């Protein structure tokens, strides 16, 4: 049996840093050469697509949104480390070699800049709207939580990019070649994730098959990290369904920081847990009453089929759109490491695919890291 420790994060709002000193998001030729040098490689130089379908366009715009968010995060992280703000000083990053750490984060920041530039180049070539930066919130307050946060959003990216590849596989006009570019980005993000995990003394690769997500799931998480009304091209314009907010407010939280509840990290230990420790307490805001019929929590984990658990003690506050309930925690086995995604669904399924579960999803998601 396992005991679970839940870690939460404090939320900090960061002002828009753009344009960066290196000219991003619109560097000139000399600045681009410098970015490529620090990133360790060049932008793709094959012929760009001249047309994209509507679905491929929105998926690529979502990818650009996400890549710019990552640039903002790593730029702020690099600043925090190099200026040794509280929580990011030498004692906080020990025993890592600080000079090498700064070099690593700088390389990752520049690599994410090239990912974003490439996505926008594809959009412009196909006569579609490129994406400009927003302002973002980062739910971290020190180096340790920053590495865990980076692991979480990279795990989500690793689960989302394959679904975007499927869209591009059927594209015409040379756009199907983007499958290869996305595969290259996918591998590179996996290398990054191994680094983030290693800084936390975790196995670099969490599991043999990682959890598949979707563009809709990624959009709903990214929306919660964007400062309201700060985007020149709002994420909502892409047309992905915005779900009511699902969060975890478990009584067993042990972390010193109260914070953003849309993901948690669960660390198993070989101790028999109490019944209370085997459950999670959820809150959902904005849930329509029609979604209360036969509610469940459905978990997405690894390459397996989604699986659902029953909701109990579902209670809605009088006259409000806020409801509270309990559900069993996701399975904890040596075969369930890495990212698990929780969705509030109607019915227990069974659901054979992520898309099938999303069709009956009424709120969510919540991201759960199990290591």
Cβ-contact 316, 42 below 8 angstroms? no
Residue at token pair 């399975």: 331
Token digits of residue 181? 């570019």
- Entry pTM: 0.91
Other Cβ atoms closer than 10 A to 58: 20
DSSP state of 50: S
Cβ-contact 248, 343 below 8 angstroms? no
| HEC assignment per residue over 224-270 | CCECCCCCCCCHHHHCCCCCCEEEECCCCCCCCCCCEEEEEEEEEEC
Q: Quick one: pLDDT band at residue 254, thresholds 50, 70, 90?
A: very low
- What would the pLDDT profile of 39-87 be if each residue is shown by its tens digit? 999 999 888 888 899 999 999 999 999 999 999 999 999 999 999 999 9
- What would the pLDDT profile of 284-323 be if each residue is shown by its tens digit? 999 888 778 889 999 999 888 999 999 999 998 777 889 9
What does the alpha-carbon distance between residue 223 and residue 209 come to, in Å, rounded to a whole number? 27
Q: Residue 260 above 60 pLDDT?
A: no
- What would the pLDDT profile of 183-212 be if each residue is shown by its tens digit? 999 999 999 999 999 999 999 999 999 999
3-state secondary structure of 274: coil
Q: Which residues contact 34 (CB under 8 A, 6 or more apart)?
A: 22, 27
Mean pLDDT estimate for the chain:
87
Residue at token pair 């499927």: 166
Q: What pLDDT score was predicted for residue 16?
A: 60
Q: What pLDDT score was predicted for residue 3?
A: 34
Q: Is the peptide bond before 19 cis (omega within 30 degrees of 0)?
A: yes
Average pLDDT over residues 134-145: 93
Average pLDDT over residues 360-367: 94
3-state helix, strand, coil in the chain (%, to 5): 40, 20, 40
């Amino acid at each position: 049996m396992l005991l679970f420790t839940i870690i939460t994060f404090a939320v900090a709002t960061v002002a828009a840093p753009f344009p960066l000193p290196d000219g991003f998001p619109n560097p000139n030729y000399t600045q681009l050469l410098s970015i490529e040098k620090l990133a360790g490689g060049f932008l793709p130089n094959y012929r760009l697509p001249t047309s994209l379908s509507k679905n491929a366009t929105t998926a690529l715009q979502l990818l650009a949104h996400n890549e710019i968010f990552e640039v903002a995060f790593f730029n702020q992280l690099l600043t925090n480390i190099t200026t040794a703000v509280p929580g990011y000083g030498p004692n906080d990053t020990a025993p890592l070699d600080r000079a090498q750490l700064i070099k690593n984060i700088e390389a990752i920041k520049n690599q994410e800049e090239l990912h974003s530039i490439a996505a926008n180049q594809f959009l412009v070539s196909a006569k579609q709207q490129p994406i400009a930066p927003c302002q973002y919130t980062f739910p971290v307050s020190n180096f340790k939580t920053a590495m865990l946060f980076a692991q979480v959003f990279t795990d989500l990216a690793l689960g989302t990019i394959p679904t975007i590849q499927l869209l591009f596989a059927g594209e015409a006009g040379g756009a199907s070649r983007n499958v290869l570019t996305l595969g290259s980005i996918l591998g590179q993000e996996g290398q990054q994730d191994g680094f983030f995990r290693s800084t936390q003394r975790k196995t670099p690769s969490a599991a043999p098959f990682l959890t598949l997500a979707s563009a809709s799931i990624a959009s709903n998480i990214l929306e919660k990290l964007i400062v309201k009304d700060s985007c020149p091209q709002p994420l909502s314009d892409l047309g992905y369904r915005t779900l009511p907010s699902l969060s975890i407010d478990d009584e067993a939280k042990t972390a010193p920081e109260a914070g953003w509840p849309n993901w948690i990290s669960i660390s198993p230990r070989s101790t028999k847990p109490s019944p209370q420790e085997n459950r999670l307490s959820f809150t959902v805001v904005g849930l329509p009453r029609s979604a209360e019929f036969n509610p469940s929590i459905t978990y997405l984990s690894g390459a397996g089929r989604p699986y659902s658990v029953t909701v109990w003690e579902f209670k809605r506050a009088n006259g409000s759109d806020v409801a509270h309930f309990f559900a069993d925690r996701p399975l904890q086995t040596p075969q369930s490491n890495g990212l698990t995604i929780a969705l509030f669904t109607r019915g227990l399924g069974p659901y054979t695919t992520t898309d099938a579960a999303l069709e009956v999803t009424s709120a969510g998601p919540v991201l759960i890291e199990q290591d």
